[in-house]
Amino acid sequence: MKIRNTIIPLLFALALTSCTSGKVYDRYQHTPIGGWERNDTLMFADIARFSRSAVYTAELGLRISGAYPFMGLTLIVDKHFYPRHIVESDTIDCSLIDHNGNSRGVGGVGYYQYRFGLNPIQVSAGDSIVVSIRHNMKREILPGISDVGLMLTEAADRPKYK
């Protein structure tokens, strides 16, 4: 009985840690409750300096409530590389609702969560990155978007997208 009580939690902990191997960054930021304004740029500036050259996959996360009025969302993602002072930009067209009115996200009752792949990121040893995200919609203030997130993973652990 004692061995069983020790092994089961150990296997559970091992399973949890194996799911996150290769992940170097995973954070969400809240958008204002009154709506996300076009000039409210979300900054991910706490990404640790990279110790070695590598390619990383980047993934954008969204949490949206039923108050969001559109079927899609266009975001601009700028990656600022230091000390090289290079900026790479991606425009992401996020399809949130299919043509039948069904959400493409995971969730249900109050919020839906979405994940979208970004272009891979090539870094050199000693690089640091600041990522900024802003919306590019015609409406100045977007209601219903609660959180926007960024995840970076070593390319060997690249997630599969459908």
At 42-77, the pLDDT tens digits run 999 999 999 999 999 999 999 999 889 999 999 999
Statement: residue 113 has pLDDT above 90: yes
In a domain, 160, yes or no: no
What's the CATH number where 123 sits? Answer: 2.60.120
In a domain, 11, yes or no: no
Region 1-29: what's the mean pLDDT? 60
Task: Check if the beta carbon of residue 141 is closer than 8 Å to that of residue 35.
Answer: yes
In a domain, 10, yes or no: no
More confident residue, 21 or 85: 85
pTM of the model: 0.80
Predicted confidence at residue 21, as pLDDT, reads 64
More confident residue, 149 or 157: 149
In a domain, 8, yes or no: no
Tally of domains within the chain? 1
In a domain, 4, yes or no: no
Predicted confidence at residue 158, as pLDDT, reads 44
In a domain, 33, yes or no: yes
In a domain, 76, yes or no: yes
> Which structural domain range is residue 91 located in?
23-154
In a domain, 18, yes or no: no
